[in-house]
Amino acid sequence: MSTTTARRAADYDGHRITVSADDGTPISVRTFGTDDAHLTVVFVHGHCLRAESWSFLRDQLLRHWGTVVGGADGAGKYSGTVVGGADGAGKYSGTVVGGADGVGKYSGTVVGGADGAGKYSGTVVGGTDQAGNHSGSADVRMVFYDHRGHGESGIAHPSTYTIDQLGHDLDAVLRSVVPTGPIILIGHSMGAMVTIAYSRLFPATIGTRVVGVGLIAGAANGITEVGLGRFLNRRAVNSLQVAVLRAPRFMQASKRLSRRIFEPIAREANMGTKRTNPRMVAVAAAMMNDTPLLTMSSFLASLMSFDESASLCRLGSIPALVLAGSADIVVPFAHSVVLASQLAGSELVRLEGAGHSVHLERAEEVALSIVALVDRVIAAMHGHDPGYATAS
């Protein structure tokens, strides 16, 4: 395989890294984009999911932000990859990836076509004009990782399966993978809770390193008061945890036997009222089925007692996106209304008919909202020009 082909394959599949949490638990990380990108967006997944739960959304974002491939030759021609056709004037009407021209324009990724005048009418990511001003959004790096006990990350002691511990694991990922530069945190469901908890655990990072947040299908508290969480009670959860610890093989076998019963219920709970791509349903079901029963049960106590209402004020000073589906019966939309009301810099987005797995169901729409959040963050950064701290 040629170097160029290998690099493109790596860009498509991401760069894989293993980070050691503070207690030594291996955390599986995948990154997309260059290490010196102007901005990094870190995605924090939900309970019984994994980093791959972002794959449909990631593909949409890659279409917006692109992957830098190739440079510019001395003649100022694009030596990157050109995808798409050319219009009648011979200008590129497809996608130009990578490269800068000889006069220093478009040093990042150009996405979109060319108008009749031959100028790019698409989105410019990371390009600078001759005066050194940004001619579009800053180039963006994306980071995805699996929580402990999920996906390709290591299994840990059940006593560490808490929201606070996941906040510390997030910090370990940021210190190792994104040691410098501004960060946007995007969390879904339990990942949104981890993001809020992180603001309490590491308050000095908010507004200095963490310059924006996205809370998707999240809540600050009260998940047992409305939605499916009402059926959770401490006695039942404790009994499940004891059973899993004492008879793990029997309980895992029971989980497999009951899959035919619970999969349709999980589909209805997570996918909302509109017709969903069967592949998305299969991906979500596979991730839930692959999650160890010990992981699933051990996090329930932390989820039930979760209350970070007092932490929301720490996030009020930075741009935020609060997004959820109107048909979410796991964490109903009312939770998002409360979140947005407490975050001064937030945009509240309601996707009609979408369920709890809104980032799977409506990946394109969620991607557009995240792109808009990134644009708001960049505008705020340019307006205030804060000094960004280094991970400690």
* Residue 128 dihedral angles phi and psi, to the nearest 5°: -130, 145
Q: Which two tokens stand for residue 198?
A: 């992180």
C-beta neighbour count of 250 within 10 angstroms: 11
193 and 102 both lie in a single domain? no
User: Are 315 and 380 part of one and the same domain?
Assistant: yes
* 8 Å CB contact between 57 and 367: yes
- Tally of structural domains, the chain: 2
| Full residue range of the structural domain in which residue 105 is found | 69-137
Of the ranges 213-222, 270-279, 335-344, which one carries the lowest mean pLDDT score? 270-279
Q: Are residues 220 and 199 in the same domain?
A: yes
Does residue 218 lie in a domain region? yes
Decide if 268 is inside a domain.
Answer: no
Give which of 158, 106, 163, 154 is closest to 129, Cα–Cα. 106
Which of 131-135, 302-306, 340-344 ranks highest by mean pLDDT?
340-344
Instruction: Say how far apart CA 364 and CA 144 lie, in whole Å.
Output: 18
Compare 132 and 172 and report the one with higher pLDDT: 172
CATH value at residue 352: 3.40.50.1820
Domain match, 78 and 221 both:
no
Q: Percentage of the chain surpassing pLDDT 70?
A: 61
State residue 319 phi and psi, 5-degree precision.
-60, 140
Lowest mean pLDDT among 176-185, 293-302, 323-332: 293-302
The rounded mean pLDDT for the chain is 74
Give the bridge partners for 111, in sequence order. 123
CA of 117: how far to CAs of 3, 38, 92, 128, 356, in Å?
Answer: 36, 30, 11, 20, 45
Helix (H, G, I), strand (E, B) or coil at 294: helix
pLDDT at 316 > cutoff 90: no
Query: CA-to-CA distance for 146 and 141, rounded, in angstroms?
Result: 17
Q: Which amino acid is at 125?
A: V
Residue 18 resides in a domain: yes
Q: Which of 137, 172, 197 is nearest to 382 (CA)?
A: 137
Residues 60 and 147 in one domain: yes
